Chains A and B, each alone.
Chain A
Amino acid sequence: MNQLIISADDFGLTEGVTKGISESILKGAVTRTSAMMCTNGSVWIKKYAKDLDGKIGLHLQLTDGIPLLPPGEVSSLVDSNGNFPKKYKHLSAVNTKEVEKEWEAQVKALLDLGIKPSHIDTHHNVHRFPKVFKAYYTIAEKYNLSARALSPIMAKKFESVGLLKSNYCLEAWYGENITCTSLIDYLLKAFQSIKNNGIVELMCHPGYVDQNLELRSHYLKAREKELAIFLDPELKKLLTKHNIQLI
């Protein structure tokens, strides 16, 4: 049987997103999430994390938020206002040591909320950059956390130290035209590409749109579309029909 992780990014982004992700795990097909520490969302994380033991990882940030360390300590990571850039395309010459220090602070912040992360990934998948990947790998090893791999060579690196959870990460299932059927087609192609031998991770962004989200994100109604699909009982039936097990 093929095994699938459905991983919701952005836990803590806004209350609507956090509530939606919680529901998508408790009542739907999503299997885990990862929490953001740089969005002032700790109150929502604590509120909605109660029944998600062991299902919350850390969504390490270098974008779209405020660093936990003073800007002077992470000068290569912030703009003139002391904020992370909004998008990964705005990152410039990051200093790997500063990334490590900032991400250590983010790990500590999640631990301070009483949540031991089950895994790590990154907001906007910024660990695509080798200089950032170095820090990502260091954090994974230091805290013995499984890590999202974005490509086969990354997967191999984590596999060599026993920190690989999934063999293939799907990053491109999103938008307002998605359906249960398009999801199943996408998953089947992914399993075929790894010759039905390994675990696939689907990255997703379910949630409810609220005022805060409208102020900070362009990805709005599609989050509710994703949520509806993950809550649809038909999805679990289709997964079973196609021999896909949620883990």
Chain B
Amino acid sequence: MTKTKTEIREAIKEILDEMIEMYDLPKTEITDELLLIETLGFSSVDIMHLLASVDMRFERHLPYDKIMLKNGEYVSDLSFGEIVDFVFDNFDFASSGPKQMS
């Protein structure tokens, strides 16, 4: 089922708010410009956990290596807006879950 960009933004914001509260991170207004590593103190692993939660929420499997890796190395940071754009742009092309259990 297709989602609007607003629905995707709200869902990711909700997950991020949950992480901020759960891990006692700095209370921050979530804007498209918010940098997850610089501002919140995330590591690349934490970003992967956020993205895994987005997959769980939407029951999709998005190709996150396309946004996390540049020239074979982890990107130095990602903004909230970049993640929203990526999920929106790839949503309809992602595989939907659950997959066949193995």
**A: which residues have CB within 8 A of B?**
79, 85-94, 128-131, 133-134, 137, 150-154, 156-157, 160, 218
Q: Which residue of B is nearest A125, CB measured?
A: B49
Given contacts A130-B19, A157-B24, contact A92 B46 (CB under 8 A): no
Give the CA-CA distance A204 to B46 in the complex, in Å. 21
Q: Which residue of B is nearest A94, CB measured?
A: B56
Count of residues in B whose CB is under 8 Å from the partner chain: 26
B64 to chain A, nearest CB (A): 12
- Choose among B24, B45, B102 the residue that contacts A151 (Cβ–Cβ < 8 A): B45
CB of B75 closer than 8 Å to a CB of A: no
A186 to chain B, nearest CB (A): 16
Q: Which residue of B is nearest A130, CB measured?
A: B18
Q: Are A90 and B23 in contact (CB under 8 A)?
A: no
Given contacts A130-B15, A218-B102, contact A89 B55 (CB under 8 A): yes
Query: Would you give the 0/1 interface string for B10-25, flagging 1 where the beta carbon is closer than 8 Å to chain A?
Result: 0000010011001111
Please indicate the chain B residues that have their CB under 8 angstroms from the CB of A160 in the complex: 24
Give the CA-CA distance A206 to B24 in the complex, in Å. 36
Query: Would you give the 0/1 interface string for B34-50, flagging 1 where the beta carbon is closer than 8 Å to chain A?
Result: 00000001110110110
Q: Are B25 and A86 in contact (CB under 8 A)?
A: no
Given contacts A90-B101, A128-B49, A152-B43, contact A157 B56 (CB under 8 A): no
Give the CA-CA distance A85 to B59 in the complex, in Å. 13
- Choose among B43, B97, B101 the residue that contacts A153 (Cβ–Cβ < 8 A): B43
- Choose among A92, A151, A152, A154 the residue that contacts B56 (Cβ–Cβ < 8 A): A92
Please indicate the chain A residues that have their CB under 8 angstroms from the CB of B101 in the complex: 79, 85-87, 90
Give the CA-CA distance A166 to B43 in the complex, in Å. 17
A104 to chain B, nearest CB (A): 19
Give the CA-CA distance A160 to B97 in the complex, in Å. 37
Please indicate the chain B residues that have their CB under 8 angstroms from the CB of A156 in the complex: 23-24
Please indicate the chain A residues that have their CB under 8 angstroms from the CB of B18 in the complex: 130-131
- Choose among B19, B24, B97 the residue that contacts A92 (Cβ–Cβ < 8 A): B97
Please indicate the chain B residues that have their CB under 8 angstroms from the CB of A91 in the complex: 56
- Choose among A90, A137, A151 the residue that contacts B49 (Cβ–Cβ < 8 A): A151
Query: Which residue of B41, B99, B101 has the most chain A CB atoms within 10 A of its CB atom?
Result: B101
